[in-house]
Structure 1
Amino acid sequence: MGAQAQIITAPDSIKAGKGTRKQQLDKIKARKNRLFTDSLGGSEPANAVLLDTTLFNKYGDLLHDDPEYNPRQPLWKPAAQVLGINAVFMGFNRYVAKADYGYVSPSTWKRNLRSEPEWDTDEFGINFIGHPYQGTLYFNAARAQGYSYWQSLPFAVGGSLTWEYFGENTLPSYNDMIYTPLNGAFLGEVLYRVSSNILDDRTTGRERAVREIAAGLINPVRGLNRLLQGKTFQVTNKEVYEKEPINVTLFAGVHRQNRNQDDVFGAGYNNAMLNVQLDYGNPFELQKRKPFDLFRLRAEFSESKQDTVSGIINNITGYGVLLGRNNQVGKLDLLTGFFQYYDYWNTRNFDLGALGFGGGLFARYPLSRQVNLYTNAHLGVIPLAGNSTRFAPDENGLRDYVYTTGLHGKLETTLSLGKYASAAFVYYHYWLKTFEGLEGSNSIGIVRPRLTVQVFKNVSLGYEHFGYTTNRRLEAFPIQRSTITDQKIFLQLFLQDPQRKGRYN
């Protein structure tokens, strides 16, 4: 096995006297693409047998960050950075924003430590987007200093707890202590992985500057740590970061949410929309799974507040594998695993923010050399979610959403006709029961069929139809059943990593 490993490690290193650094990098990348590109209709690159699978994935990329270049820093460093992040937020709230809740003192700390936490009344977007992003900063304080996913998670928990008790003069909140660290770790690992794919410490000059700036914008805490550790300008002769192939899909076009309830293809507002989807890792590669070596993150934006309850973010959804196992049964490629899910939906019909965990099954069945049927199905538990009521604020008159628990089921299936066309059907369902706020339950369904047809190389014309349904049963109000539909026409730009074949987006 050691002799086989040399086949990839030797060409992956920059050698003196073998041409310029850029020329050697170009040759390394071309060679890897040639040797370790997915075979059509299969789950493995044709020459994967050339690799030492204890060090590399099937595409010749590292399975782990190089421990010599990325050593784990002493415990006090990420802990101090977590406290520093909180100090920056506290200073901003008090001296820049001059927010009432930013005026803390020993007396407010003493009261918070002696009081029972509450379920807070923050705005929906703050609780279910803002706080998870704050959790990514705590998480990456450790992740960007040599700690693994599981080792970084406690720092997200600690950052959230110290903020809740000492960062504001309001009472600590249960929802923030759960949602901030857990979905912060979800988004934090996504940001770490994407920034790793952007960084290449073998590069120099303009390319290096662009990579450093892009990675720093995506993951600011990592960018800061690279400066502190001297990595921003340090040049290596070999790859030092774990990477998996990543596909990027961009949708841009117009959409119309029908104005009237239960109206399909009716009158509505036509507004511009943009959708970005990242697919990281190959679900059908035979490998030992670890957290987030496979994930999907999809975000959609609209220019008009008429499409949403508040803001321009229509939805952010995603999943990341925590544990998994791959198998092949004849021609069928399978992945079974345990996943974490992130859901944020902001529509005129409902708001929904959910943290989920559950089991998932991915399958690929090749119908021919070019035609594949992809399916993934999920069933999970939702320990915490927020869901709008649309009737009235809670009993305190401050919050127009309730805290719930429940279940979710998700199905995504795509028939891919190679690069020429695809037909997809997606259905999500959420069963939610209120435990804090207006008593009741809600059953939410989201259906999303889509068709794309190639118009030029990796550009396709697409149509997508959304249907949002709710069935609210609140004890103090009449039952509400409603449906809002949304039609989208768009151009799709599909940027496929040559080492990750498969249009199952």
Structure 2
Amino acid sequence: MKLKKVILVLCSFVFAFNVFAQTAESSENSDASLDFSSESIEFDSKKHYFVAAGGMLLTNIVIGSWNRFGPARASWAQVYWDDIKEPWNRKIKFDRDWYWTNFVLHPYQGGLYYLAARNSNLNWFESLIVSAAGSFMWEYFFETNSPSTNDLTYTPIGGFVTGEMVYRLGLEANAKGHKILGYVANPLRLYTDPILKRAPQGPSGLLQSFSLKTGFGLAFANTWLKEPYDNCSELFPAYGSVGLDVVYDDPYGHDSNTPYSQFELSMQGSAGLGSGEGADSTEEKIMYSINIFSNGMLLARNPDFGENRDTTVGLVLEYDFMWHSFMEFSSLAPGFAIKQRINTENGSFAWQTHLAGIIMGTADYYYLRRGIFPKPDYVSCDYGYTTGAEIVEKIAYNAHSGFVFDWTVHGYAMYKYKAQKQDCDDTGWEYFAFSQASVELPVSKKVSLGLSDDFYIKYADYDNVENVFSVFNAVNFYARFKLM
């Protein structure tokens, strides 16, 4: 059977799901209209499991069809009945996909499954199950490749992280009347809103800060190697950047049993001139950087440590991602966090400590990343899968005058284990830290100017080749626009 027939069957299945759901609920919602304005919405507490499952199926069908029939016509998407009829015989393996695909696009795809469920009134745990089911279906029935160990991890767990954050941001946008932004944050509304005849429901008015920053900078790096390899110095002479920083609900003094009822999210993208080094000509000419750092409270308590002190203690989940010309790493890490703010007459001083265990992470393999080893003829990639530990330390001072100082350090100890990819890779420990320090001065109520410094240091204790010691430093000048 060709995939076109399978897709037709699946589309019919989705349609049947929705018809059944609408029929079953018609007696309860007979007076509902297709008016999504806040005045016409009544609270709907019913869980719409069929709509959630249909949204998950539809997401896979749309993405799978695009990959199979779209401009790229990806070879791995040319799925026929013989490829999927015996899923129990398919061995799970690590894959070697593009870094961006594995650790941003897969969590985002998992987030789409999750949003279909959350929009349908399912709770976070039920939505996580839907995301895991969507990931399983994708790996076994929408690809000719072997099911991927890393995708089956990053898609549902990363989908929970990204899905819950954008779900709540979408609710905020909708509550403030930014309907287009609501759909951008939560595109599964294009499916669930017409079926359920309402917008997603949930808390709003909890957004503490939402700001955009843009600027420019320069960076340099140095790597020390033993003979017969030469030390490598690199200069990235100029780049521009744009970033988004979000704080949802107050990080300090938070008490909740609901996962991600409080989270912090920072994203930044940069592009500029390359250093002249790298594994290919593009890397030599162009510098690029995309980073995502986030943490969400899974369970939080607000102990009383005295007057003028606001404290949060609880369980946290970290999702970090760095994809830079010089370095790359990622982590999914649950753990423990304590956050405290000390209020004074002139402002507030805050600090945080997070200790987490990495479920799955990645770290770049320097010898392939920077072209020290020639790229082999067989399939290879310049990063390896890891496990280990993560620590986050943050101190900040916010003056009533608008002056801000912030310093956050992410430290990682990752072990790159065997039997995951290619022969030219190596096992061993990677110890590295990424530090971000900044100062800001206000020029108006909505705009401030800042100077920041990003510092990266790494020591890689490889098993079979010489170890690597690297440092990277970037200085950035930026303007921050406080959208809220």
Per the normalisation by structure 1, the TM-score is 0.77
Query: Percent same amino acid at aligned positions?
Result: 23
2:452 alignment counterpart? 464
Q: Encode CA deviations 1:337-357: one digit per residue, 9 max, x unaligned.
A: 101111101223321121111
Deviation at 1:74, TM superposition (A): 3.4
Q: Which structure 1 segments of 5+ residues have no match? A: 1-21, 26-65, 201-206, 233-238, 497-505
2:249 alignment counterpart? 281
1:51 alignment counterpart? none
Report the Cα distance in structure 1 between the residues aligned to 2:287 and 2:428, rounded to whole angstroms.
Answer: 27
1:293 alignment counterpart? 261
Q: Say yes or no: does 1:70 pair with 2:52.
A: no
Cα contact 1:394–1:402 (8 A) shared by 2:
no
Instruction: Return closer, same or farther for 1:305/1:269 CA change in 2, 3 Å cut-off.
Output: closer
Q: Say yes or no: does 1:146 pair with 2:135.
A: no
Cα contact 2:254–2:311 (8 A) shared by 1:
no
Deviation at 1:221, TM superposition (A): 0.6
Report the Cα distance in structure 2 between the residues aligned to 1:294 and 1:474, rounded to whole angstroms.
Answer: 38
2:403 to 421, 424, 432: 421
Q: How does 1:142-291 map to 2 (within 5 A)?
A: 142-200=117-175, 211-231=178-198, 241-243=202-204, 244-258=206-220, 260-261=222-223, 268-285=236-253, 287-291=255-259
Q: Say yes or no: does 1:355 pair with 2:322.
A: no
Q: Which structure 2 segments of 5+ residues have no match? A: 1-36, 225-230, 369-374
Amino acid at match of 2:270: S
Instruction: Return closer, same or farther for 1:481/1:182 CA change in 2, 3 Å cut-off.
Output: same
Report the Cα distance in structure 2 between the residues aligned to 1:291 and 1:190, rounded to whole angstroms.
Answer: 10
Q: Encode CA deviations 1:105-139: one digit per residue, 9 max, x unaligned.
A: 22111354312200011111110011001001111
2:465 to 465, 477, 481: 477
Deviation at 1:99, TM superposition (A): 1.0
Cα contact 1:128–1:353 (8 A) shared by 2:
yes
2:313 to 336, 340, 346: 336
Cα contact 1:112–1:172 (8 A) shared by 2:
no
Report the Cα distance in structure 2 between the residues aligned to 1:286 and 1:420, rounded to whole angstroms.
Answer: 24
Cα contact 1:321–1:339 (8 A) shared by 2:
yes
Per the normalisation by structure 2, the TM-score is 0.80
Q: Encode CA deviations 1:368-407: one digit per residue, 9 max, x unaligned.
A: 2x31111111010001012110213699642211110010
Cα contact 1:291–1:320 (8 A) shared by 2:
yes
Report the Cα distance in structure 1 between the residues aligned to 2:271 and 2:256, rounded to whole angstroms.
Answer: 42
Cα contact 2:347–2:398 (8 A) shared by 1:
yes
Higher relative contact order (CA 8 A, sep 6+): 1
Cα contact 1:427–1:447 (8 A) shared by 2:
yes
2:63 alignment counterpart? 89
More divergent stretch after superposition (287-296 vs 371-380): 287-296
1:391 to 367, 378, 381: 367
Report the Cα distance in structure 2 between the residues aligned to 1:196 and 1:124, rounded to whole angstroms.
Answer: 30
Instruction: Return closer, same or farther for 1:112/1:241 CA change in 2, 3 Å cut-off.
Output: closer
2:301 to 311, 314, 325: 325
Report the Cα distance in structure 2 between the residues aligned to 1:483 and 1:383, rounded to whole angstroms.
Answer: 26
Deviation at 1:284, TM superposition (A): 3.0
Instruction: Return closer, same or farther for 1:401/1:292 CA change in 2, 3 Å cut-off.
Output: same
Deviation at 1:311, TM superposition (A): 8.3
Report the Cα distance in structure 2 between the residues aligned to 1:306 and 1:395, rounded to whole angstroms.
Answer: 26
**Secondary structure in 2 matching 1:293:** coil
1:442 to 422, 430, 435: 430
Q: Encode CA deviations 1:425-475: one digit per residue, 9 max, x unaligned.
A: 211110000123521110111122211112222322211111111111222
Q: Say yes or no: does 1:492 pair with 2:476.
A: no
User: Where has structure 1 moved over 6 Å in runs of 4 or more?
Assistant: 307-311
Q: Encode CA deviations 1:266-321: one digit per residue, 9 max, x unaligned.
A: 95321111111010001234543411110011100113373896885420110111
Report the Cα distance in structure 1 between the residues aligned to 2:149 and 2:235, rounded to whole angstroms.
Answer: 42
Q: Say yes or no: does 1:132 pair with 2:107.
A: yes
Report the Cα distance in structure 2 between the residues aligned to 1:249 and 1:184, rounded to whole angstroms.
Answer: 24
Amino acid at match of 1:319: N
Report the Cα distance in structure 1 between the residues aligned to 2:252 and 2:432, rounded to whole angstroms.
Answer: 31
**Secondary structure in 2 matching 1:199:** helix
Amino acid at match of 1:290: T
Instruction: Return closer, same or farther for 1:311/1:115 CA change in 2, 3 Å cut-off.
Output: farther
Cα contact 1:216–1:224 (8 A) shared by 2:
no
Q: How does 1:27-38 map to 2 (within 5 A)?
A: none
Report the Cα distance in structure 2 between the residues aligned to 1:288 and 1:373, rounded to whole angstroms.
Answer: 23
